[in-house]
Amino acid sequence: MTDMTDPAGAGQVLKVSDLSKSFGALQASKNISLDLRAGEIHALIGPNGAGKSTLIKQISGELRPDSGSVSLLGRPVDDLDRVARARMGLGRTFQISALAMEFTVLQNAVLGALGARGGVFRFLGNVMRDKALVAQAEHALERVGLLSDAKRRTADLSHGQRRQLEVAVALTLQPKLFLMDEPMAGLGAGGSQALTGFLDTLRHEAPILLVEHDMDAVFALADRISVLVYGEVIATGTTEEIRNNAEVQRAYLGEEEPV
Amino acid sequence: MNREKLLNAAVILLLLAIPLWAHMAEEPFLITLATKVAILALAGVGLNIALGIGGLVSLGHAAFFGIGGYAMGILAAHAQNYEPLAEWPMLIEGTNQMPVIWLVAVVASALAAFVIGALSLRTSGVYFIMITLAFGQMLYYFAISWTAYGGEDGLSIWVRNEFPGLNTLVPLEFFLICYVILCAALWFAARLARAPFGLALSAARQCEARVETVGITPYQLRLTAFVISGAITGLAGALFADLNRFVSPTMLSWHTSGEIMIFVIIGGVGRLFGPVIGAALFILLEHLLGGISDYWQIYLGGLLLIIVLYARGGVIGAISGREVAHD
Amino acid sequence: MSLILILEQILNGLQFGVMLFLMAAGLTLVFGVMGLINLAHGALYMVGAFAAAIVAAWTGSFVLALVASLAAAAAAGALVELLVIRKLYDRDHLDQVLATFALILIFSEGTRWVFGSFPLFLDVPSYLSGPISLPGGIEYPLYRLTIIAIGLVVAAGLFWLIARTRIGIQIRAGESDREMIAALGVDISKLYTLVFALGAALAGLAGALVGAIQSVQVGMGEPVLILAFVVIVIGGIGSIKGAMVGALLVGLTDTLGGVFLPQLFGLFMEPASATSVGASLASMLIYILMAAILLVRPSGLYGGQH
């Protein structure tokens, strides 16, 4: 399954080489290799239990692979933890929203801006009146369309709005790439469309590795698709190639119908 | 001005007004009670930084309270006996000057908090609770076995320590010292909560994953909070020992840890004035109910149980509702 | 420092360890199955001791006293579970700590109210008193040996219960996935009450057994409780095997340390300082042990996912 579109590997923002991980007898990742290039949206699809979450966690730094390596922006990051990789520019959104629920929308965004700027260990000064941080936070909120909700409590937001907020917080970090875990999950048709449109413009700022089940969004957005089944990448290619791939069709028979 | 701020203002003014009145009415006992409230509130303010903002359930905070107390006890004991603490490598004498004692108490508690925190924060959840409990007990048993400073019987200091320019033997003057320190601590805690550090620490309590993915390490935040928290509680310990002119291993016991936590919870955990209201209520209960029944702690237990099960926000929560988001 | 002394102290350490296990087993079971940290466990130890003292004074039978301790502690445990504990399963640990701390206050002061502050008496029965000759020339108190035996039998029984019976399967399943066993149709509430009562009974038994050697008074459970916490932190919260290993480690370390550290320091210090330094260090020894183990294994020796 070598990828013939870019054999030289130029412009690789993320490179995953031969990643393997087992949990006891269960092998969740089997020699997974893939990459993410500048300006692209690379979708990762596969049936439930294929090991997509495990793969994402190994890329973000939450899990250590048993073997293989991950490189960000050309540098191997296997020794770096989640925090260090975030500082390097890895933006992440979660399938189940990871937000400070007691905070207002703005506070969550400011947290992101604070993380990006540094200077966390300041004990005086009012962080919510810090003009630079607030401006950065508001800018991100505006981009995802949440600025008018800035003073609302995060716990009061709808599912879709929380999703938007996660993207906004990721934006404040001005990341070099995005790891998105099922951002469409739980969004209605309108929400999905809006987010799809947004991600489409986002790719030019930073490429996106997108784990998704929503095939409409995948086919609308993805430049390349990798198919993960039972921990293995069985195919990587453009949307056309994947749609026509017999193995993929077989793997998905009974699961989801490729459109 | 929202309800919480009004309540806070009322409490802090009342805490000043009552001793002033008592001084004029010549009721020194009330001043002593108020002083106790101020000191215990200070201990609670310390704990509240770790517990209320950071979500660190430290069941061993009495360790710092006791270290502060023993710092005072040891220094003052050597001063009153005219024996130096050490002669080598340099002469270290005891002292009965409060500012020096406070400095030692704060530094000692901060150091202890650093060591205990560095070890304990490598764990989380129930492990953290139990380890902090265990460390507190370790110091408790150590103090009992340290017969040089009284062991189980504790250490008495004959005269209250001195503060330049004041007569600390006058109850009102000592109260004012404690009150000013409490106000300073409250001011600091309030600023901390609104500062970048406070935002990050609170976020770490609510969602650790979020903090890590914005590039902040929760362990460093928590350790810093724990050290600050321990230092403030340690200062309270030194003042407490000074108030009673007595320090004993009881200051280090887990019952004391539990009590400090109780004030904070009854008042409202995470609320700035939670410890103040909680300490006031606790002292009130101790003296009103304690006068009626020797077994007043049953009622304390009952009150605590009710609050935990049905009124989680404590007194402040009940009066002013959900916390207003910081602007 | 003779071999006999060492062996005697090892036996003492075993006896202490076995009693700690009875306490720790209940604590770790409750945490493993229900996810609940229970500070009031020491109160159940006390209830068992008091029940035994009362029944022994009333009937003169030590065996009945032990049965009473099991029954009373189990009943108290079940009652507390039904009234208070069950409201805490869904709460965070802070709430559990506070609520069970409140229970300690209520139990302790309540007991003091009813029985006063003076200790009750529970005597070792005559047929168990006195020393027994063991191989090696050791004369060891028969009662302490009995305690070790009872403790080991109970431990074996507990292991059998967990490994071989249906309740045991439910307990083990509950430890790994609480929602799952509810979905499988197991009556969760009953299971939880049963587990809590079982833990309480073990604590009560320990209280009664130890009460005959030490005294039966309010607050007797608290030092033991803290040690039980240390045991399960060392052993790994949720693991019965860990509780056993941890309990023996703690029991032996504390006993042997208390006896031999002062002697060790006596080798190069004058006796007065040696005793005090040795005693101080001995009292901290278990906590130092705990800290050391946690540095290497933050979840304890056999701890897993909690």
Chain B contacts of A127, Cβ < 8 Å? 194-196, 198-199
Q: CA-based Rg of chain B, rounded to a whole angstrom?
A: 19
CA dist B170 and C158 (Å) reads 63
Count CA atoms within 13 Å of residue A93 on its CB side.
27
- Looking up tokens 């002394």 gives C5
| Global ipTM | 0.87
Q: Is residue A22 part of a domain?
A: no
Residue A219 one-letter amino acid: F
Q: Where are the alpha helices (DSSP H) in B214-296?
A: 218-244, 254-267, 274-292
Predicted confidence (pLDDT) at residue C43 exceeds the cutoff of 60: yes
Number of C-beta neighbours around residue A39 at 10 A? 12
CA dihedral of B19, B20, B23, B28, whole degrees rounded to 10 = 0
Which pLDDT does position A1 carry in this prediction? 43
Instruction: Tell me: do A41 and A76 sit in the same domain.
Output: yes
- Looking up tokens 């087993």 gives C25
Chain B contacts of C87, Cβ < 8 Å? 309
Chain A contacts of B206, Cβ < 8 Å? 100-103
Q: Is residue B327 part of a domain?
A: no
Q: Phi/psi class of residue A61: alpha, beta or left (left: φ > 0; alpha: ψ in -120 to 50)?
A: left
Nearest-CB residue to B207 (from A83, A99, A122): A99
Q: Tell me the per-residue pLDDT of C166-206, one tens digit each, with 9 for 90 and over.
A: 888 887 777 777 667 777 777 788 888 999 999 999 999 99
C26 neighbors C41 (Cβ within 8 angstroms): yes
A226 DSSP β-pair partners: A44, A236
Chain C contacts of B267, Cβ < 8 Å? none
Contact C229 B133 (CB under 8 A): yes
Q: Where are the domains of chain C?
A: 8-118+139-296
Length of chain C: 306
- Interacting residues of A81 by C-beta distance below 8 A, sequence separation 6+: A61
Contact B304 C284 (CB under 8 A): no
Provide the token pair at B242. 């000074």
CA dist C113 and C92 (Å) reads 32
CA neighbor of C220 nearest in space, from C115, C63, C102: C115
**Domain harbouring A198, CATH code:** 3.40.50.300
CA dist C283 and B127 (Å) reads 21
**Domain harbouring B88, CATH code:** 1.10.3470
Contact A115 B214 (CB under 8 A): yes
Q: Is residue B99 part of a domain?
A: yes
Chain B contacts of A92, Cβ < 8 Å? 213
CA dist B270 and B4 (Å) reads 13
Highest mean pLDDT pick, B24-33, B181-190, C49-58, C268-277: B181-190
Contact B297 C103 (CB under 8 A): no
Instruction: Tell me: do A79 and A134 sit in the same domain.
Output: no
pTM as predicted: 0.90
Instruction: Tell me: do A197 and A79 sit in the same domain.
Output: yes
Nearest-CB residue to B199 (from A60, A124, A127): A127
Chain C contacts of B296, Cβ < 8 Å? 109
Q: Which domain holds residue A132?
A: 102-174
3-state secondary structure of A41: strand
Predicted confidence (pLDDT) at residue B312 exceeds the cutoff of 60: yes
The residue ranking higher by pLDDT, A164 or B92, is: A164
Provide the token pair at C208. 């009664």
Nearest-CB residue to A110 (from B195, B199, B224): B199
CA dist A134 and A109 (Å) reads 8
Q: Is residue A83 part of a domain?
A: yes
Contact A108 B212 (CB under 8 A): no
Q: Most C CBs within 10 Å: which of B298, B299, B312, as the mutation test of the C interface?
A: B298
Chain B contacts of A134, Cβ < 8 Å? none
CA neighbor of B248 nearest in space, from B321, B158, B150: B150
Q: Most B CBs within 10 Å: which of C28, C34, C280, as the mutation test of the B interface?
A: C280
Instruction: Tell me: do A131 and A246 sit in the same domain.
Output: no
Which pLDDT does position A58 carry in this prediction? 92
Which pLDDT does position A258 carry in this prediction? 52
How many residue pairs bridge chain B and chain C with CB atoms within 8 Å of each other? Answer: 124
- Min Cα distance A129 → chain B (Å) is 8
Domains of chain A: total: 2
CA dist C224 and C49 (Å) reads 13
Contact A98 B207 (CB under 8 A): yes
Provide the token pair at B21. 């009145």
CA dist C137 and B191 (Å) reads 70
Contact B214 A108 (CB under 8 A): no
**Residues of chain A predicted below pLDDT 50:** 1-3, 6-8, 254-255
Contact B210 A102 (CB under 8 A): no
Count CA atoms within 13 Å of residue C17 on its CB side.
25
Tell how strand B155-156 and strand B246-247 pair up.
antiparallel
Contact A126 B194 (CB under 8 A): yes
Of A139, A174, A209, the last residue of a domain is: A174
What DSSP string describes A130-194? -HHHHHHHHHHHHHHT-GGGTTSBGGGS-HHHHHHHHHHHHHHT--SEEEEE-TTTT--HHHHHH
What DSSP string describes A79-130? T--HHHHHHHTEEEE-SS----TTSBHHHHHHHHHHHHH------SS-GGG-
Which pLDDT does position B314 carry in this prediction? 86
Provide the token pair at A113. 């801006």
Q: Is residue B153 part of a domain?
A: yes
- Mean pLDDT value across chain B: 90
C31 neighbors B126 (Cβ within 8 angstroms): yes
Q: Which residues of B have a CB under 8 Å from any CB of A?
A: 188, 191-192, 194-200, 202-203, 206-207, 209-217, 220-221, 224, 323, 325-327
Provide the token pair at B67. 């270290």
> Which residue of B lies nearest to C291 if distances are taken between CA atoms?
B119
Under the banding of pLDDT at 50, 70 and 90, the label for residue C44 is: very high
CA dist B249 and B150 (Å) reads 9
Q: Is residue B325 part of a domain?
A: no
CA dist B248 and B155 (Å) reads 6
CA dist B199 and B53 (Å) reads 9
What DSSP string describes chain C? --HHHHHHHHHHHHHHHHHHHHHHHHHHHHHHHH----TTHHHHHHHHHHHHHHHHHHH--HHHHHHHHHHHHHHHHHHHHHHTGGGGTTS-HHHHHHHHHHHHHHHHHHHHHHH-SSPB--PPPGGG-SEEEETTTEEEEHHHHHHHHHHHHHHHHHHHHHHHSHHHHHHHHHHH-HHHHHHTT--HHHHHHHHHHHHHHHHHHHHHHHHTTS-B-TTTHHHHHHHHHHHHHHH-TT-HHHHHHHHHHHHHHHHHHHHHHHHHHHTTS-HHHHHHHHHHHHHHHHHHHHHHHHHH-TT-SS----
Predicted confidence (pLDDT) at residue C106 exceeds the cutoff of 60: yes
Q: Tell me the per-residue pLDDT of B147-175, one tens digit each, with 9 for 90 and over.
A: 888 888 999 988 888 888 888 888 899 99
Q: Which domain holds residue B166?
A: 3-320
Q: Tell me the per-residue pLDDT of B209-220, one tens digit each, with 9 for 90 and over.
A: 999 999 999 999
Predicted confidence (pLDDT) at residue C292 exceeds the cutoff of 90: no
Chain C contacts of B302, Cβ < 8 Å? 102, 106
- Min Cα distance B200 → chain C (Å) is 21
Chain B contacts of C104, Cβ < 8 Å? 301
Chains with ≥3 Cβ pairs under 8 A against C?
A: B
Class of the C8-118+139-296 domain? mainly alpha
Number of C-beta neighbours around residue B200 at 10 A? 27
Q: Most A CBs within 10 Å: which of B207, B214, B227, as the mutation test of the A interface?
A: B214
| Contact flag for A and C (3+ C-beta pairs < 8 Å) | no
Q: Is residue A140 part of a domain?
A: yes
CA neighbor of C283 nearest in space, from C251, C246, C254, C245: C254
Domains of chain B: total: 1
CA neighbor of B226 nearest in space, from B108, B54, B16: B54
| Contact flag for B and C (3+ C-beta pairs < 8 Å) | yes
- Min Cα distance A168 → chain B (Å) is 12
Which pLDDT does position B1 carry in this prediction? 59
Instruction: Tell me: do A258 and A201 sit in the same domain.
Output: yes
Q: Tell me the per-residue pLDDT of B238-283, one tens digit each, with 9 for 90 and over.
A: 999 999 999 999 999 999 999 999 989 999 988 999 999 999 999 9
Contact A99 B217 (CB under 8 A): no
CB-based burial, B162-199: b 16+ in 10 Å, e otherwise:
bbeeeebeebbebbbbbbebbeebbebbbebbbbbbbb
CA dist C157 and C194 (Å) reads 16
Least confidently predicted of B81-85, B186-190, C15-19? B81-85
- Min Cα distance C130 → chain B (Å) is 32
Question: In chain A, helix, strand, coil percent, each to 5?
Answer: 40, 25, 35
Q: Which residues of B have a CB under 8 Å from any CB of C?
A: 51, 55, 57, 59, 119, 122-123, 125-127, 129-131, 133-135, 137-138, 141-142, 144-148, 254, 258, 261-262, 265, 269, 295-298, 300-302, 304-305, 308-309, 312
Q: What is the DSSP letter of B97?
A: B
Contact B195 A122 (CB under 8 A): yes
Query: Stretch B97-118: mean pLDDT, rounded?
Result: 94
CA dist A188 and A205 (Å) reads 26
Nearest-CB residue to B123 (from C93, C104, C298): C298
- Could you tell me if C238 lies within 8 Å of chain B, comparing CB atoms? no
Contact C280 B137 (CB under 8 A): no
